[in-house]
A and B are shown apart, each in its own frame.
Chain A
Amino acid sequence: MNDTMIDVEDFRREARAWIAANLEPRERVRAGRVVGEVTTHEQIDEARALQRKLFDGGYAGISYPAEYGGRGLTPAHEQAFREEAAGYVTPDFGVVGVVTMGAIGRSIAEHASPEFCRRHIPAILRGDEMWCQFYSEPEAGSDLAGIRTRATRDGDRWVISGSKIWSSGAYLADWAMCLARTDWDVPKHRGLTWFAIPCDAKGVTIRQIRQINGGAEFCEEFLDEVEVTEDDIIGEVNRGWAVTQTMLVYERGAGETATPTEPRALAPDLVALARRVGRIEDPAARQAIARAHINDYAQFHLGRRIADRLEHSHNPDHAVAAYSKLAAGVYTPLRARLGMEIGGPAALAWAIGDEAEGRPALDYLNGRRISIAAGTNEVQRNGIGERVLGLPREPSFDTNKAFNEVLRNARNWDGKVG
């Protein structure tokens, strides 16, 4: 922070005026909207145009470093903008936007070389570059350090082969941030490197995967001798785990609240549902509505509390971000379940094509994405238990052995410890 930084409230006033002059008011608030309704390139292009407007106005990347096209302000400024812009149409890139601006851009800014940052961050903030995450693999999800995609050095080039899966929005993205193994003869966390790969590079095949909800937002990829250069490395060779840790903190929300402002109206979607099915006076439905709303409200204040803790502590313990993630992972599916309970039979079958009536079922199907993606609830509980509460770790079978050997041992697993 520097002395010349604009005060949050001054910034808020400035932003308010700019927003009123430049953005369209949102006519109807789309409560409980699922991230990921952005599914076409046309929607992405629309968002790019609007993002460009923000960028030119100085409101893109508010808390990103100024030398890379951001504003160089604090998360509190960012939050003030979010609050002021809540009633307006802002760029909506769906899940690729969340991934790009929320996790990837931040990780790049913290770990990539200045040249890399200059090449990519302004382009991200302008909306020209959308990114996706090539992290998970068919054989490695929670155990991200156990990935098997291989990157081999060949002169000043690197050649990458392997397969990735569950990459949200990859078919809409321009670039991918890809984790690969660059040394197989050391323990798993010490042989990993991050690469930037253009999604249209030779050897990259991206296929959409049909999801539980019928949509096809996440993808699988086959990487067949994809060539990149030294300049495409993010962070240092074999030191990729440090980048991963930063990325996971941001990906888990870093304490950002789900809604920009305190949710005050009693769970509007569930109240509307209860009215629609004639149960607004039914005590069971009322209890369910209140329960859902109280959890929303508590999650909002939890997010604030965590963000405050990260911002005001001299030595912030980023592991606490797992609380917001775990709360979302626990309460989102619970909320969806309460919707199904209130809806009763009307939530099980509805008029063909009626999206509003089909909403509780869709929320129910989508409810567990946040319990699984970006680290499952169980992984969050491990992190909280070990890194926040200081409980001893489980015995591990793989952290001190060369990864090659770990793979051999796993194939011959006989249940013996050690």
Chain B
Amino acid sequence: MDSDATEDQRALLDVSVRFMEETCPPAVVRDAERRDAAFAAGYRSQAAELGWFSMLVPEALGGGSLSGNGVLDAALIAYLRGGRLQPGAFVGTNVVADAIARAGGARLQAEVLPALVAGEASAAWALAATAGAGSPAAGVDARTDGTGGLVLSGAKTAVLDVEPGGWLLVTASSPDGPVQAVVAADAPGVGIVALDSLDLSRRFSEVRLDGVVVAADAVLGDAGSTAALVDHQLAVAATLLAAECVGAMDAEFAMTLQYAKDRIAFGRPIGSFQAIKHVLADTSLAVEMSKAITLAAARTLGSQDDHGPAAASMAKALVGDSAIDLAQNCFQVFGGIGYTWEHDQHLYLRRVTSDAGLFGDAAWHREHLCQLSGI
């Protein structure tokens, strides 16, 4: 995706590709049964050795990035992951590790953060709620317990890749505004309910919280800083998910383009028909613009530029809309074979459509952009 990648970055990308192709090739992507808890743990620890979960964490806390721009490094990995429909809590673990590095207390930084960086555990951000119009705090209410801790009740949905022994970052609403806490996925009162989902390459869960008691040292930030931290997390999640989505778009487009060259109808390749050719030209423009805006967002967000959150929302909105257009157009080019379970196109359609809706859909990010811009 990035022709400016440094030699170090390229080396990391190359070994990452090899790791993905060996550990989670298409046959494993297709077979959810093979992706059980043991698989998840093995995948995670190998990925951690490549540094996948350290990029947003400062060196002082045991992390480190190759280029000095951890968001960019992570986005380049995310792009490769998306193209290979990779499972695992990559976006979630990085977002939560970043949040703990920024706002976590001593215990979170000493116990949870090193486990995330080392791939001993993963983390998921429990953000979306069934109702609540996309407000990050919707779905879970927090009561203060008088000692600085919280009691959480409610539910979050469509939480990505909650893995056994992992951690949850829960964003909840309290009378004083949004609050956040890091909770063990197997803590008392926490229920993880597996869901059916459009996307087949990742797992989605509902997280139920029934009076979950959170100690003060597991609360992130305070009344004054939480809203800004949530915005930052959203920007990181949006950028990394957009990058995964662009990877999937690129792969799906390449597969479709090849088909348009190979498939014959009326005595000629279907790609010679202008109706098909023009759809593919427009779709490739969408891919190019999506790459350009996602790299711009990653560069900006990872370089302490104030414009980072706006750029991230722009990328998520543009990529989200483009991804759905692309999926629809590619599906149409395949004709009947695209409607089969056997053909891979639906795996991409399912994945990118889900990406478009997670961590804020296009309309949500457009409104967020207006608010970030002061209107």
Listed in ascending order, the chain A residues whose CB lies under 8 Å from chain B are 262, 264-266, 271, 280, 283, 286-287, 289-291, 293-295, 297-299, 301-302, 304-306, 308-309, 312, 323, 326-327, 330, 378, 380-382, 384-386, 388-395
Q: Which residues of B contact A392 (CB under 8 A)?
A: 261, 268-269, 271-272
Interface residues of B in 300-328 (CB under 8 A from A): 307, 310-311, 314, 317-318
A261 to chain B, nearest CB (A): 12
The 8 Å CB contact of B277, one of A283, A326, A327, A386, is A386
26 cross-chain CB contacts under 8 A: A266-B369, A266-B373, A271-B375, A287-B363, A290-B369, A293-B369, A298-B314, A302-B293, A305-B288, A305-B292, A306-B288, A323-B284, A323-B285, A378-B278, A381-B281, A381-B282, A382-B274, A382-B281, A385-B271, A389-B280, A389-B281, A391-B261, A391-B269, A392-B269, A392-B272, A394-B272
Chain B contact patch, size range: 35 or more
Indicate if the CB atoms of B367 and A385 lie closer than 8 Å. no
Q: What 1/0 flags go to B193-223 for Cβ under 8 Å of A?
A: 0000000000000000000000000000000
> Are A380 and B375 interface neighbours, CB within 8 A?
no
Classify the interface of chain B: helix, strand, loop or mixed.
Answer: helix
Q: Is the interface of A mostly helix, strand, loop or mixed?
A: helix
Chain A residues contacting B281 (CB-CB under 8 Å) are: 326, 380-382, 384-385, 389
Chain A neighbourhood of B373, CB < 8 A:
265-266
Interface string of B236-279 (1 = CB under 8 A from A): 00000000000000000000010011000000110111101110
Query: CB distance B370 to A290 under 8 Å?
Result: yes
Contacts of A299 in B (CB 8 A): 289
Contact of B307 among A264, A295, A309 (CB under 8 A): A264
Q: Which residues of A contact B147 (CB under 8 A)?
A: none
The answer on a CB contact under 8 Å between A266 and B296 is no
**Cβ of B102 under 8 Å from chain A:** no
Which residues of A sit under 8 angstroms from B280, Cβ to Cβ? 385, 389, 391
Taking CB atoms and an 8 Å cut-off, the chain B residues in 328-349 that contact chain A are none
Could you say which residues of chain B place their CB within 8 Å of the CB of A264?
307, 310
Question: B367 touches which one: A290, A295, A326, A330 (CB < 8 A)?
Answer: A290
CB of B155 within 8 A of chain A? no
- Nearest chain-B residue to A280 (Cβ)? B375
Closest residue of chain B to A299 (Cβ to Cβ) is B289
B370 touches A266 (CB 8 A): yes
Interface flag for B295 (CB, 8 Å):
yes
A271-B375, A287-B367 known; A389+B278 contact, CB < 8 A: no
| B residues near A280, Cβ cutoff 8 Å | 375
Query: Cβ of B292: which chain A residues have Cβ within 8 Å of it?
Result: 298, 301-302, 304-305
Give Cα distance in the complex from A302 to B3, angstroms: 13
- Asked whether B260 lies within 8 Å of A391 as measured between CB atoms, the reply is yes
Q: Given contacts A382-B277, A392-B272, are A308 and B3 in contact (CB under 8 A)?
A: yes
B232 within 8 A of A: no
Cα separation A323 to B283 with both chains bound (whole Å): 11
Given contacts A283-B367, A290-B366, A298-B293, contact A394 B285 (CB under 8 A): no
Q: Which of B357-375 contact A (CB under 8 A)?
A: 363, 365-367, 369-370, 373, 375
Give the residue of B273, B295, B310, B317 whose beta carbon is less than 8 angstroms from that of A301: B295
Other A-B pairs beyond A298-B318, A301-B296, A382-B274, 14, CB < 8 Å: A264-B310, A266-B375, A280-B375, A290-B367, A297-B311, A298-B292, A298-B293, A301-B289, A326-B281, A389-B277, A389-B280, A389-B281, A391-B271, A392-B261
Residue B291 lies at the interface, judged by CB distance under 8 Å to chain A: yes
Q: Contacts A264-B307, A301-B292 hold; do A381 and B278 have CB atoms under 8 A apart?
A: yes
Closest chain B residue, CB of each to CB of A291: B366
